[in-house]
A = this chain, B = another copy of it.
Amino acid sequence: MSTPGRVTIRDVARRAGVSVATVSRVLAGGYPVLAVTRNKVLRAVRELDYVPNAHARALSAARPGAIAIVVDSVAMPYYAYIAQGVEEQAAQEGRLSLICTTGGDTGRELSIVQLLREQRAEAVILVGSVILDDEYRKRMTEYAHALAAAGSRLVLCGRPPLGEGVPALVVGYDNTGGAHAVTAHLLSAGHRRILYLGLRPGHTTSDSRVAGYRSALAEHGVPADPALEVEAEFTREAGYDAMKRRLAEGPPGFTAVFAGNDLVASGAIQALDEHGLSVPGDVSIVGYDDVPPAQDLRLTTVHLPHDELGRAAVRLALGRMASSPLILGTHIVVRGSVRPLGPR
Protein backbone atom coordinates (compact mmCIF):
# COMPACT_ATOMS: atom_id res chain seq x y z
CA MET A 1 0.00 0.00 0.00
CA SER A 2 2.84 2.39 0.78
CA THR A 3 4.40 1.85 -2.64
CA PRO A 4 1.46 1.16 -4.91
CA GLY A 5 1.77 -1.28 -7.72
CA ARG A 6 4.90 -2.81 -6.34
CA VAL A 7 3.49 -6.07 -5.01
CA THR A 8 5.02 -8.90 -7.01
CA ILE A 9 4.32 -12.56 -7.32
CA ARG A 10 7.23 -13.25 -4.97
CA ASP A 11 5.64 -11.20 -2.21
CA VAL A 12 2.50 -13.24 -2.59
CA ALA A 13 4.47 -16.49 -2.57
CA ARG A 14 6.31 -15.50 0.61
CA ARG A 15 3.13 -14.49 2.35
CA ALA A 16 1.33 -17.68 1.37
CA GLY A 17 4.32 -19.82 2.25
CA VAL A 18 4.54 -21.39 -1.21
CA SER A 19 6.70 -20.96 -4.32
CA VAL A 20 6.16 -18.48 -7.11
CA ALA A 21 5.34 -21.31 -9.45
CA THR A 22 2.43 -22.34 -7.29
CA VAL A 23 1.07 -18.80 -7.18
CA SER A 24 1.35 -18.55 -10.92
CA ARG A 25 -0.45 -21.86 -11.31
CA VAL A 26 -3.28 -20.92 -9.00
CA LEU A 27 -3.78 -17.68 -10.90
CA ALA A 28 -3.54 -19.26 -14.33
CA GLY A 29 -5.90 -22.11 -13.42
CA GLY A 30 -6.14 -25.37 -15.28
CA TYR A 31 -3.44 -26.91 -13.17
CA PRO A 32 -3.79 -29.37 -10.25
CA VAL A 33 -3.36 -27.57 -6.93
CA LEU A 34 -4.63 -28.75 -3.55
CA ALA A 35 -7.62 -26.79 -2.35
CA VAL A 36 -5.79 -25.89 0.85
CA THR A 37 -2.85 -24.42 -1.07
CA ARG A 38 -5.11 -22.59 -3.48
CA ASN A 39 -6.91 -20.92 -0.61
CA LYS A 40 -3.70 -19.83 1.07
CA VAL A 41 -2.61 -18.23 -2.19
CA LEU A 42 -5.90 -16.55 -2.87
CA ARG A 43 -5.99 -15.12 0.63
CA ALA A 44 -2.49 -13.70 0.22
CA VAL A 45 -3.49 -12.17 -3.12
CA ARG A 46 -6.45 -10.49 -1.50
CA GLU A 47 -4.55 -9.28 1.52
CA LEU A 48 -1.77 -7.74 -0.54
CA ASP A 49 -3.98 -6.33 -3.31
CA TYR A 50 -1.79 -8.10 -5.81
CA VAL A 51 -2.21 -7.19 -9.48
CA PRO A 52 -0.16 -9.20 -11.98
CA ASN A 53 2.00 -7.10 -14.28
CA ALA A 54 0.75 -7.43 -17.83
CA HIS A 55 4.12 -6.53 -19.31
CA ALA A 56 5.93 -9.27 -17.45
CA ARG A 57 3.19 -11.66 -18.40
CA ALA A 58 3.28 -10.73 -22.05
CA LEU A 59 7.04 -11.04 -22.03
CA SER A 60 7.13 -14.69 -21.10
CA ALA A 61 3.86 -16.13 -22.31
CA ALA A 62 2.81 -15.27 -25.82
CA ARG A 63 -0.86 -14.37 -25.57
CA PRO A 64 -3.12 -12.83 -28.17
CA GLY A 65 -2.34 -9.16 -28.67
CA ALA A 66 -4.86 -6.37 -28.91
CA ILE A 67 -6.54 -5.19 -32.08
CA ALA A 68 -6.08 -1.50 -32.69
CA ILE A 69 -8.01 0.78 -35.00
CA VAL A 70 -6.47 4.10 -35.98
CA VAL A 71 -8.74 6.89 -37.19
CA ASP A 72 -8.58 10.64 -37.68
CA SER A 73 -11.21 11.50 -35.15
CA VAL A 74 -13.81 9.63 -33.27
CA ALA A 75 -16.08 12.65 -33.43
CA MET A 76 -16.84 11.90 -37.06
CA PRO A 77 -19.67 9.37 -37.12
CA TYR A 78 -18.26 7.57 -40.13
CA TYR A 79 -15.20 6.54 -38.13
CA ALA A 80 -17.11 5.98 -34.93
CA TYR A 81 -19.38 3.45 -36.59
CA ILE A 82 -16.52 1.51 -38.10
CA ALA A 83 -14.76 1.50 -34.74
CA GLN A 84 -17.90 0.07 -33.24
CA GLY A 85 -17.88 -2.79 -35.72
CA VAL A 86 -14.25 -3.50 -34.92
CA GLU A 87 -14.98 -3.54 -31.21
CA GLU A 88 -17.88 -5.93 -31.59
CA GLN A 89 -16.04 -8.41 -33.75
CA ALA A 90 -12.91 -8.21 -31.60
CA ALA A 91 -14.95 -8.93 -28.47
CA GLN A 92 -16.51 -11.88 -30.25
CA GLU A 93 -13.06 -13.19 -31.10
CA GLY A 94 -11.98 -12.82 -27.49
CA ARG A 95 -9.65 -9.93 -28.20
CA LEU A 96 -9.36 -6.54 -26.66
CA SER A 97 -9.69 -3.63 -29.05
CA LEU A 98 -8.34 -0.12 -28.80
CA ILE A 99 -9.18 3.03 -30.67
CA CYS A 100 -6.40 5.51 -31.36
CA THR A 101 -6.95 8.92 -32.91
CA THR A 102 -4.49 10.95 -34.93
CA GLY A 103 -6.37 14.19 -35.42
CA GLY A 104 -5.31 13.92 -39.04
CA ASP A 105 -1.72 14.56 -37.99
CA THR A 106 0.80 12.40 -39.82
CA GLY A 107 3.32 12.77 -37.02
CA ARG A 108 0.89 11.45 -34.46
CA GLU A 109 -0.08 8.64 -36.81
CA LEU A 110 3.56 7.66 -37.03
CA SER A 111 4.12 7.57 -33.29
CA ILE A 112 0.92 5.60 -32.79
CA VAL A 113 1.97 2.98 -35.33
CA GLN A 114 5.40 2.93 -33.71
CA LEU A 115 3.89 2.28 -30.33
CA LEU A 116 1.48 -0.33 -31.58
CA ARG A 117 4.19 -2.36 -33.18
CA GLU A 118 6.31 -2.17 -30.07
CA GLN A 119 3.25 -3.39 -28.17
CA ARG A 120 3.09 -6.27 -30.62
CA ALA A 121 -0.54 -5.53 -31.39
CA GLU A 122 -2.07 -8.44 -33.20
CA ALA A 123 -3.53 -6.18 -35.86
CA VAL A 124 -3.49 -2.52 -36.79
CA ILE A 125 -6.44 -1.24 -38.76
CA LEU A 126 -5.94 2.07 -40.53
CA VAL A 127 -9.13 3.74 -41.66
CA GLY A 128 -9.94 6.66 -43.86
CA SER A 129 -9.40 8.13 -47.22
CA VAL A 130 -6.27 9.97 -48.12
CA ILE A 131 -4.55 11.88 -50.83
CA LEU A 132 -2.92 9.13 -52.82
CA ASP A 133 0.54 10.45 -53.62
CA ASP A 134 4.04 9.00 -53.57
CA GLU A 135 4.72 10.23 -50.07
CA TYR A 136 1.64 8.40 -48.84
CA ARG A 137 2.50 5.20 -50.71
CA LYS A 138 5.97 5.25 -49.25
CA ARG A 139 4.76 5.83 -45.71
CA MET A 140 2.22 3.01 -45.88
CA THR A 141 4.73 0.62 -47.38
CA GLU A 142 7.08 1.38 -44.52
CA TYR A 143 4.31 0.82 -41.97
CA ALA A 144 3.44 -2.47 -43.58
CA HIS A 145 6.97 -3.81 -43.44
CA ALA A 146 7.65 -2.51 -39.95
CA LEU A 147 4.44 -4.02 -38.61
CA ALA A 148 5.10 -7.29 -40.37
CA ALA A 149 8.57 -7.39 -38.81
CA ALA A 150 6.96 -6.98 -35.40
CA GLY A 151 4.47 -9.73 -36.13
CA SER A 152 1.41 -7.50 -36.54
CA ARG A 153 -1.05 -7.53 -39.41
CA LEU A 154 -1.96 -4.34 -41.19
CA VAL A 155 -5.43 -3.75 -42.59
CA LEU A 156 -6.28 -0.74 -44.70
CA CYS A 157 -9.94 0.29 -44.72
CA GLY A 158 -11.31 2.38 -47.51
CA ARG A 159 -7.88 2.85 -49.00
CA PRO A 160 -6.46 1.46 -52.22
CA PRO A 161 -4.17 -1.60 -52.18
CA LEU A 162 -0.44 -0.95 -51.96
CA GLY A 163 0.79 -3.42 -54.53
CA GLU A 164 2.10 -6.92 -54.78
CA GLY A 165 4.88 -7.52 -52.29
CA VAL A 166 3.49 -5.31 -49.53
CA PRO A 167 2.05 -7.17 -46.54
CA ALA A 168 -1.22 -5.30 -46.11
CA LEU A 169 -4.82 -6.46 -46.29
CA VAL A 170 -7.46 -4.25 -47.81
CA VAL A 171 -11.20 -3.81 -47.37
CA GLY A 172 -13.39 -1.03 -48.66
CA TYR A 173 -16.69 0.07 -50.14
CA ASP A 174 -17.81 0.20 -53.70
CA ASN A 175 -17.85 3.97 -53.88
CA THR A 176 -18.13 4.19 -57.62
CA GLY A 177 -21.14 1.90 -57.66
CA GLY A 178 -22.91 3.78 -54.89
CA ALA A 179 -22.26 7.13 -56.50
CA HIS A 180 -23.49 5.81 -59.81
CA ALA A 181 -26.68 4.53 -58.24
CA VAL A 182 -27.51 7.70 -56.37
CA THR A 183 -26.77 9.88 -59.39
CA ALA A 184 -28.99 7.65 -61.51
CA HIS A 185 -31.67 8.11 -58.88
CA LEU A 186 -31.56 11.88 -59.38
CA LEU A 187 -31.49 11.50 -63.15
CA SER A 188 -34.52 9.27 -63.21
CA ALA A 189 -36.34 11.83 -61.09
CA GLY A 190 -35.84 14.17 -64.02
CA HIS A 191 -32.85 16.15 -62.80
CA ARG A 192 -30.25 17.08 -65.39
CA ARG A 193 -28.27 19.88 -63.75
CA ILE A 194 -26.73 18.05 -60.79
CA LEU A 195 -24.08 19.75 -58.71
CA TYR A 196 -21.38 17.51 -57.27
CA LEU A 197 -20.21 19.08 -54.02
CA GLY A 198 -17.04 17.53 -52.65
CA LEU A 199 -14.40 17.48 -55.33
CA ARG A 200 -10.95 16.75 -53.96
CA PRO A 201 -8.48 15.83 -56.68
CA GLY A 202 -6.21 12.97 -55.65
CA HIS A 203 -8.42 12.11 -52.72
CA THR A 204 -9.29 8.47 -53.24
CA THR A 205 -12.81 8.37 -51.79
CA SER A 206 -13.94 11.51 -53.53
CA ASP A 207 -12.32 10.47 -56.79
CA SER A 208 -14.21 7.21 -56.94
CA ARG A 209 -17.49 8.93 -56.10
CA VAL A 210 -16.90 11.48 -58.83
CA ALA A 211 -16.19 8.64 -61.23
CA GLY A 212 -19.56 7.08 -60.41
CA TYR A 213 -21.28 10.43 -60.82
CA ARG A 214 -19.72 11.03 -64.23
CA SER A 215 -20.42 7.57 -65.54
CA ALA A 216 -24.09 7.82 -64.57
CA LEU A 217 -24.37 11.18 -66.34
CA ALA A 218 -22.72 9.73 -69.43
CA GLU A 219 -25.07 6.76 -69.49
CA HIS A 220 -28.04 9.08 -69.45
CA GLY A 221 -26.58 11.22 -72.20
CA VAL A 222 -26.03 14.23 -69.97
CA PRO A 223 -22.78 16.02 -70.78
CA ALA A 224 -20.41 16.56 -67.85
CA ASP A 225 -20.03 20.21 -66.91
CA PRO A 226 -16.93 21.22 -64.93
CA ALA A 227 -18.87 24.16 -63.53
CA LEU A 228 -21.04 21.66 -61.71
CA GLU A 229 -18.16 20.03 -59.89
CA VAL A 230 -17.27 22.02 -56.81
CA GLU A 231 -14.42 21.45 -54.38
CA ALA A 232 -15.14 20.85 -50.70
CA GLU A 233 -13.57 18.87 -47.89
CA PHE A 234 -15.74 16.22 -46.30
CA THR A 235 -16.92 18.25 -43.32
CA ARG A 236 -20.07 20.12 -42.44
CA GLU A 237 -18.27 23.47 -42.44
CA ALA A 238 -16.74 22.90 -45.86
CA GLY A 239 -20.14 21.97 -47.29
CA TYR A 240 -21.67 25.09 -45.86
CA ASP A 241 -18.90 27.38 -47.07
CA ALA A 242 -18.77 25.90 -50.55
CA MET A 243 -22.51 26.17 -51.07
CA LYS A 244 -22.55 29.67 -49.64
CA ARG A 245 -19.86 30.77 -52.05
CA ARG A 246 -21.56 29.11 -54.97
CA LEU A 247 -24.88 30.79 -54.27
CA ALA A 248 -23.18 34.16 -53.90
CA GLU A 249 -21.82 33.86 -57.43
CA GLY A 250 -25.19 34.16 -59.09
CA PRO A 251 -28.21 32.01 -59.95
CA PRO A 252 -27.73 28.38 -58.91
CA GLY A 253 -27.91 26.75 -62.33
CA PHE A 254 -28.68 23.36 -60.79
CA THR A 255 -31.80 21.61 -59.57
CA ALA A 256 -30.13 18.93 -57.51
CA VAL A 257 -27.02 18.40 -55.42
CA PHE A 258 -24.97 15.28 -54.87
CA ALA A 259 -22.96 15.94 -51.72
CA GLY A 260 -19.69 14.05 -51.18
CA ASN A 261 -21.01 12.85 -47.86
CA ASP A 262 -23.80 13.50 -45.38
CA LEU A 263 -21.86 16.08 -43.42
CA VAL A 264 -21.29 18.10 -46.56
CA ALA A 265 -24.99 17.72 -47.35
CA SER A 266 -25.87 18.98 -43.89
CA GLY A 267 -23.79 22.11 -44.35
CA ALA A 268 -25.11 22.65 -47.85
CA ILE A 269 -28.69 22.41 -46.67
CA GLN A 270 -28.08 25.07 -44.07
CA ALA A 271 -26.56 27.35 -46.70
CA LEU A 272 -29.47 26.75 -49.10
CA ASP A 273 -31.89 27.42 -46.28
CA GLU A 274 -30.21 30.70 -45.40
CA HIS A 275 -30.46 31.61 -49.07
CA GLY A 276 -34.18 31.03 -49.03
CA LEU A 277 -34.03 27.78 -50.98
CA SER A 278 -35.90 24.87 -49.49
CA VAL A 279 -35.09 21.16 -49.71
CA PRO A 280 -36.56 19.39 -51.59
CA GLY A 281 -38.95 22.10 -52.77
CA ASP A 282 -36.43 24.20 -54.65
CA VAL A 283 -33.42 21.93 -54.68
CA SER A 284 -33.13 18.17 -54.35
CA ILE A 285 -30.12 16.78 -52.53
CA VAL A 286 -28.55 13.42 -51.83
CA GLY A 287 -25.72 12.56 -49.49
CA TYR A 288 -23.45 9.62 -48.87
CA ASP A 289 -22.59 7.43 -45.86
CA ASP A 290 -25.95 7.31 -44.06
CA VAL A 291 -24.63 8.64 -40.79
CA PRO A 292 -26.78 10.38 -38.15
CA PRO A 293 -27.43 13.78 -39.68
CA ALA A 294 -29.01 11.95 -42.61
CA GLN A 295 -31.88 10.66 -40.54
CA ASP A 296 -32.69 14.00 -38.96
CA LEU A 297 -32.50 15.77 -42.28
CA ARG A 298 -34.62 13.11 -44.00
CA LEU A 299 -31.80 12.82 -46.47
CA THR A 300 -31.78 10.37 -49.34
CA THR A 301 -28.33 8.89 -49.21
CA VAL A 302 -26.16 5.84 -49.80
CA HIS A 303 -26.02 3.46 -46.90
CA LEU A 304 -22.60 2.10 -46.08
CA PRO A 305 -22.38 -1.02 -43.91
CA HIS A 306 -19.93 0.56 -41.47
CA ASP A 307 -20.43 -2.15 -38.95
CA GLU A 308 -19.70 -4.84 -41.49
CA LEU A 309 -16.57 -3.04 -42.62
CA GLY A 310 -15.19 -3.03 -39.08
CA ARG A 311 -16.08 -6.67 -38.58
CA ALA A 312 -14.57 -7.65 -41.91
CA ALA A 313 -11.35 -5.84 -41.07
CA VAL A 314 -11.00 -7.85 -37.87
CA ARG A 315 -11.82 -11.12 -39.57
CA LEU A 316 -9.32 -10.42 -42.31
CA ALA A 317 -6.67 -9.55 -39.76
CA LEU A 318 -7.23 -12.77 -37.87
CA GLY A 319 -7.07 -14.83 -41.03
CA ARG A 320 -10.74 -15.78 -40.88
CA MET A 321 -11.28 -14.69 -44.46
CA ALA A 322 -9.03 -15.06 -47.41
CA SER A 323 -10.14 -12.52 -49.95
CA SER A 324 -8.32 -9.23 -49.98
CA PRO A 325 -8.99 -6.71 -51.39
CA LEU A 326 -12.56 -7.13 -50.24
CA ILE A 327 -15.19 -4.75 -51.56
CA LEU A 328 -18.46 -4.34 -49.68
CA GLY A 329 -21.64 -3.37 -51.47
CA THR A 330 -23.82 -0.37 -50.69
CA HIS A 331 -27.42 0.58 -51.29
CA ILE A 332 -29.56 3.69 -51.59
CA VAL A 333 -31.77 4.76 -48.73
CA VAL A 334 -34.61 6.87 -50.06
CA ARG A 335 -35.91 9.47 -47.63
CA GLY A 336 -37.44 12.80 -48.44
CA SER A 337 -34.78 15.02 -49.94
CA VAL A 338 -35.39 14.35 -53.63
CA ARG A 339 -38.37 15.74 -55.53
CA PRO A 340 -39.26 14.46 -59.00
CA LEU A 341 -38.93 17.18 -61.60
CA GLY A 342 -41.95 17.58 -63.86
CA PRO A 343 -41.33 17.59 -67.64
CA ARG A 344 -40.44 21.08 -68.83
Are B98 and A100 in contact (CB-based, < 8 A)? yes
In the assembled complex, the Cα of A269 lies from the Cα of B298 at a distance in Å of 12
Query: Among B50, B55, B145, which residue has its beta carbon within 8 angstroms of that of A120?
Result: B55
Q: Which residues of B contact A101 (CB under 8 A)?
A: 83-84, 87, 97, 99
In the assembled complex, the Cα of A269 lies from the Cα of B57 at a distance in Å of 53
* Mask of A84-123 contacts with B, CB within 8 angstroms, 1/0: 1001100100001111110100001001100101111000
A56 located at the interface, meaning its Cβ lies under 8 Å from any Cβ of chain B in the complex: yes
Query: Among B52, B108, B145, B150, which residue has its beta carbon within 8 angstroms of that of A91?
Result: B108
Q: Which residues of B contact A49 (CB under 8 A)?
A: 145-146, 149
With A51-B146, A96-B112, A297-B296 in contact, do A151 and B4 touch (Cβ < 8 Å)? yes
In the assembled complex, the Cα of A152 lies from the Cα of B51 at a distance in Å of 11
Are B103 and A115 in contact (CB-based, < 8 A)? no
* Mask of A2-29 contacts with B, CB within 8 angstroms, 1/0: 0011110000000000000000000000
Interface residues of A in 33-65 (CB under 8 A from B): 49-59
A280 located at the interface, meaning its Cβ lies under 8 Å from any Cβ of chain B in the complex: no
State the Cβ distance, A331 to closest chain B Cβ, in Å. 20
Are A75 and B75 in contact (CB-based, < 8 A)? no
Q: How many residues of A contact B (CB 8 A)?
A: 58
Query: Among B4, B58, B73, B81, which residue has its beta carbon within 8 angstroms of that of A150?
Result: B4
A181 located at the interface, meaning its Cβ lies under 8 Å from any Cβ of chain B in the complex: no
Query: Among B59, B83, B117, B146, which residue has its beta carbon within 8 angstroms of that of A74?
Result: B83
Q: Which residues of B contact A269 (CB under 8 A)?
A: 296
* Mask of A312-328 contacts with B, CB within 8 angstroms, 1/0: 00000000000000000
A281 located at the interface, meaning its Cβ lies under 8 Å from any Cβ of chain B in the complex: no
A341 located at the interface, meaning its Cβ lies under 8 Å from any Cβ of chain B in the complex: no
State the Cβ distance, A229 to closest chain B Cβ, in Å. 25
In the assembled complex, the Cα of A4 lies from the Cα of B148 at a distance in Å of 7
With A88-B103, A99-B98, A101-B87 in contact, do A119 and B55 touch (Cβ < 8 Å)? yes
Are A87 and B103 in contact (CB-based, < 8 A)? yes
Query: Among B5, B98, B103, B111, which residue has its beta carbon within 8 angstroms of that of A151?
Result: B5
Q: Which residues of B contact A112 (CB under 8 A)?
A: 96
A293 located at the interface, meaning its Cβ lies under 8 Å from any Cβ of chain B in the complex: yes
Q: Which residues of B contact A6 (CB under 8 A)?
A: 151
Closest residue of chain B to A66, judged by CB?
B115
A131 located at the interface, meaning its Cβ lies under 8 Å from any Cβ of chain B in the complex: no
Besides the known contacts A7-B149, A96-B111, A99-B100, 6 further A-B residue pairs in the complex with CB atoms under 8 A apart: A1-B149, A5-B149, A83-B99, A270-B295, A270-B296, A292-B293
Sampled A-B contacts (11; CB under 8 Å): A4-B151, A7-B149, A50-B149, A55-B119, A75-B77, A98-B98, A99-B101, A236-B295, A266-B296, A269-B296, A296-B297
